[in-house]
């Protein structure tokens, strides 16, 4: 245990590196297997189309036997023959080995049926009994050859799809472990006091290294996560009917957790960008009341589920300069926090106004309040209040850091006013006039 205590930081880095390698590797394997499964399914469809076109071609022979060598029968056979040739070329173009296996029976059938059709047409009558037997026999052989290929493709699909799903589930599990290890590393650093707040130069260097590490890992995570989510959609759409109830439930869990991880990676990247001064804004005239209304309505189902009274007092009637997407993200973060910490049956009031040349966005909840000690660290990255830890409220400690970064990028300010056991009010002030806002953050 003493060795583990001394080396747990190195151990966490080693586990994180291993988890990253496993996530990328399994995602790559899963992607390859899904690509192969998709190729197999498409080839199966081509083979089925070849079988259908051969049946239509043989139907013209049956019409010859029933109606005789008429011009209509000849025209139908010519059209069916063109469809068969195109279908066979398509099968062989995508799988030459399959085409080579089918080709002998295919060519013999075409030769026998063409000779029989020619003799019947030349005499203007019905095909002979020998021609009928010969054509039927070769058609049966061709059908058998195509059926063998269809069964082979179906077996390949049944084997490949579960393997692909298993690889993607493994990639998602490794990614979950990696994110958990990253959070653990930050917590170890915070508890061990490695960032010396009394030594400004050392603190700045450690912070820079941590941000670079978060940004690098987040970028590396985004690629396999995007691949996982994309291939999960590929599994769910065409194959949903073939999955059992348990398999569908497992895929739903994987999809939900992959989406959560994707959001977490986005938050980590946004924090890294804002810390480096690279938060990009799309500045336009924004209706703050409309944004607040959208945010309140989006949060209302979560509030209703906890029987929380959620109201909006809108008073910012003029438009202000800002990035509507980032401002909406800021509002959603503050409302989400208020709902998390407000007890069942509580109350949340959202207010907008124009005061002293600033637009105001304010969220007041009847939650447990925030201690003065926690208020001092509230907007630090990865910081979580004692109440959040004690109540096991889910979160990463990034929401308020992101909110402050967005407000700072708009040259605004955010403050908190709270009384323990009574209420908390988060107040955002944004410039009302078109001041020169740095769109690079």
Distance CA 39, CA 203 (A): 53
CATH 3.30.565.10 fits 284-431, yes or no: yes
Nearest CA to 235 out of 153, 173, 167, 156 is that of 167
What is the per-residue pLDDT for 315? 85
Strand pairing report for 320-322 and 358-365: unpaired
Distance CA 55, CA 438 (A): 69
C-alpha 278 chain-centroid distance: 25
H/E run at residue 361: strand 358-365
Q: Is the dihedral of CA 265, 269, 274, 280 positive or negative?
A: negative
What is the per-residue pLDDT for 439? 44
What is the per-residue pLDDT for 198? 47
H/E run at residue 226: helix 200-239
Q: Name the phi and psi angles at 383, rounded to 5.
A: -80, 135
Q: What is the pLDDT along the chain (441 residues), one digit of tens a residue?
A: 455 555 666 666 666 677 667 667 776 776 676 767 778 888 888 888 888 888 888 887 777 777 776 778 778 888 888 888 898 899 889 888 888 898 898 898 888 888 887 787 777 667 777 878 888 888 889 889 888 888 888 888 777 777 767 776 776 776 777 677 667 666 666 665 544 444 556 666 666 666 666 555 555 666 666 767 666 676 666 555 666 777 677 677 777 766 666 666 666 666 666 665 556 788 889 999 999 999 999 999 999 999 999 999 988 777 889 988 889 988 988 998 888 888 899 999 999 998 888 999 999 999 888 888 887 787 776 666 666 555 545 556 677 888 888 888 888 999 999 888 888 999 999 998 755 444 444
Distance CA 143, CA 54 (A): 8
Distance CA 172, CA 168 (A): 6
Burial call 335-365: b when 16+ CB within 10 Å, e when fewer: bbbbbbbbeeebbbbbbbbeeeebbbbbbbb
Residues facing residue 310 across a β-bridge:
348
State the DSSP code for 343. P
DSSP one-letter string for 248-290? HHHHHHHHHHHHHHHHHHHHHHHHHHHHTT------EEE-HHH
Unique residue bearing structure tokens 């990865």 = 382
H/E run at residue 341: helix 324-341
Nearest CA to 279 out of 326, 239, 242, 244 is that of 326
Q: pTM here? A: 0.45
Residues facing residue 364 across a β-bridge:
349, 425
């Amino acid at each position: 245990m003493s060795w583990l205590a001394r080396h747990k930081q190195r151990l966490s880095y080693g586990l994180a590196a291993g988890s990253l390698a496993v996530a990328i590797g399994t995602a790559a394997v899963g992607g390859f297997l899904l690509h192969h499964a998709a190729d197999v399914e498409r080839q199966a469809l081509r083979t089925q189309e070849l079988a259908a076109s051969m049946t239509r071609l043989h139907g013209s022979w049956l019409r010859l036997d029933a109606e005789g060598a008429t011009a209509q029968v000849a025209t139908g056979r010519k059209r069916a023959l063109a469809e068969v040739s195109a279908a066979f070329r398509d099968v062989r173009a995508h799988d030459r080995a399959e085409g080579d296996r089918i080709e002998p029976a295919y060519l013999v059938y075409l030769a026998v049926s063409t000779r029989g059709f020619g003799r019947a047409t030349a005499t203007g009558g019905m095909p002979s009994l020998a021609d009928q037997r010969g054509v039927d026999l070769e058609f049966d052989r061709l059908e058998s050859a195509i059926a063998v290929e269809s069964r082979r493709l179906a077996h390949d699909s049944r084997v490949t799809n579960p393997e692909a799903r298993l690889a993607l589930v493994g990639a998602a599990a490794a990614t979950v472990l990696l994110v958990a290890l990253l959070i653990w590393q930050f917590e170890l650093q915070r508890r061990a006091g490695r960032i010396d707040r009394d030594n400004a130069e050392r603190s700045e260097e450690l912070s820079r290294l941590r941000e670079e590490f978060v940004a690098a890992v987040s970028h590396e995570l985004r690629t396999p996560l995007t691949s996982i989510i994309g291939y999960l959609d590929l599994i769910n759409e065409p194959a949903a009917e073939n999955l059992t109830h348990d398999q569908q439930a497992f895929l739903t869990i994987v999809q939900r957790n992959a989406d959560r991880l994707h959001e977490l990676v986005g938050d980590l990247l946004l924090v890294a960008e804002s810390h480096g001064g690279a938060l990009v804004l799309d500045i336009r005239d924004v209706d703050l009341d409309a944004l607040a209304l959208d945010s309140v309505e989006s949060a209302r189902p979560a509030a209703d589920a906890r029987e929380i009274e959620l109201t909006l007092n809108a008073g910012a009637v003029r438009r202000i300069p800002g990035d509507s997407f980032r401002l909406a993200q800021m509002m959603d973060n503050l409302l989400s926090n208020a709902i998390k910490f407000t007890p069942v049956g509580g109350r949340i009031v959202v207010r907008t106004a124009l005061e002293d040349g600033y637009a105001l966005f304010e969220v007041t909840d009847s939650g447990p309040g925030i201690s003065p000690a926690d208020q001092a660290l509230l907007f630090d990255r990865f910081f979580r209040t004692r109440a959040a830890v004690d109540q096991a409220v889910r979160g990463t400690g990034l929401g308020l850091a992101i909110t402050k970064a967005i407000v700072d990028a708009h040259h605004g300010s955010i403050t908190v006013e709270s009384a323990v056991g009574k209420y908390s009010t988060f107040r955002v002030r944004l410039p009302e006039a078109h001041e020169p806002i740095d769109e690079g953050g």
